[in-house]
């Protein structure tokens, strides 16, 4: 892992080690991937302002996220099927995040269940929720997250209808799944991956285990999930979640100023400015282009997190300068997970930490609180 100097190095390693179908699932965007590309292109257009002759001998990257101490203004975002990137992947990622002193978010569509992860780590983590048509199931997930002492609930609101991802269909990760012969051959050429996955706690969606009566196979569960995304989802559902969740609530998937204003009035602790990593509305705006508008509108009223295109400490600083209090990474740590499990995720976090630290020094910044638009070229 020490030879991995940047997130792209981890990406290349994961590409070699993870079967094509699952690597493609993590990397792909929806439809023509315009929004996926825009997340990176627009991020790279944000220019940092170099400053000199400022004493930056003592720097501090620590901050608070939702009033909890963190070593970095960074959290690991929820991802689906992490346990198929690396056996017990969600546990490995959570351990790495907690060792680094930052939050980890377990996804609803994880391989390891809430209870699996809670029993394998020492501290509370965040849980991400989809409100599905089966409100009883959604309530049960909230109750399980509370029982596991999850410290925040991340309610994702931009997946009421699934955006088509061409790569998944071509790789057989459709509904129902139909892995191609070439994918099975590809898996056979990666025996280390096969061994880790087969010896992991689970091979299918852990949080759904036992819920779909008599249907434990991945095909049946995938079909059930596909019919559970709810196009009727609305602000009253957010109020319902707020009424039964006892802890901190974050809404993820806000990409419009009006929606941000509504969220700030509904009584949640934070929002995540996000376009689902370019995996939903294709042709929509990049997350970074919308962030400053939302920050200007509600930045003093609610805590703003950012998600979409973070691949480096420089990107992290760009988002902070444009109004985010902290950021989430998805693909950046998935690459680390596929490349080397817990050690790979730890390396991804460390790469971003070091890059942020150096970037702070070269822009004349000593603490995270000092990062604002004055650190950017106008």
Question: Residues with catalytic annotation?
Answer: 276
Q: Give CA–CA dist 41/257, Å, rounded.
A: 22
Query: CA dist 69 to 72, 98, 203, Å?
Result: 9, 12, 34
110 contact partners, CB below 8 Å, separation of at least 6: 78, 79, 80, 81, 82, 83, 90, 117, 205, 206, 207
């Amino acid at each position: 892992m020490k030879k991995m100097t940047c997130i792209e190095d981890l990406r290349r390693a994961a590409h070699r080690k993870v079967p094509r179908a699952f690597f493609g699932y993590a990397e792909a965007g929806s439809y023509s991937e315009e929004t996926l590309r825009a997340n990176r292109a627009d991020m790279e257009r944000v220019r940092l302002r170099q400053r000199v002759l400022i004493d930056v001998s003592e720097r501090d990257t620590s901050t608070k996220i939702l009033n909890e101490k963190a070593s970095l203004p960074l959290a690991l975002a929820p991802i689906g099927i992490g346990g198929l990137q690396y056996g017990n992947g969600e546990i490995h990622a959570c351990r790495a995040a907690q060792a680094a002193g930052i939050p980890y978010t377990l996804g609803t569509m994880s391989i390891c269940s809430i209870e699996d992860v809670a029993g394998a780590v020492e501290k509370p983590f965040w849980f991400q929720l989809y409100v599905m048509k089966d409100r009883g199931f959604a309530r049960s997930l909230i109750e399980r997250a509370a029982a596991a002492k999850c410290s925040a609930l991340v309610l994702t609101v931009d997946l009421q209808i699934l955006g088509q991802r061409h790569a998944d269909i071509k790789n057989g990760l459709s509904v129902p799944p139909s892995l191609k012969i070439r994918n099975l051959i590809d898996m056979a050429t990666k025996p280390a991956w096969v061994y880790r996955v087969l010896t992991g706690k689970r091979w299918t969606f852990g949080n759904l285990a036992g819920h779909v009566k008599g249907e434990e196979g991945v095909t049946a569960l995938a079909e059930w999930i596909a019919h559970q995304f709810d196009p009727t989802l609305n602000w009253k559902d957010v109020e319902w979640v707020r009424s039964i969740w006892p802890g901190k609530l974050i809404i993820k998937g806000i990409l419009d100023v009006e929606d941000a204003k509504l969220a700030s009035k509904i009584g949640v602790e934070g929002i995540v400015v996000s376009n689902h990593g370019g995996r939903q509305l294709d042709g929509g705006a990049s997350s970074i282009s919308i962030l400053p508008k939302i920050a200007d509108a509600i930045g003093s009223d609610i805590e703003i997190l950012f998600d979409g295109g973070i691949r480096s400490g420089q990107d992290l600083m760009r988002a902070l300068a444009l109004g985010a209090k902290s950021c989430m990474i998805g693909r950046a740590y998935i690459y680390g997970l596929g490349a080397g499990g817990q050690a790979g995720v730890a390396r991804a976090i460390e790469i971003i930490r070091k890059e942020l630290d150096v970037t702070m020094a070269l822009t004349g910044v000593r603490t995270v609180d000092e990062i604002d638009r004055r650190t950017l070229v106008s």
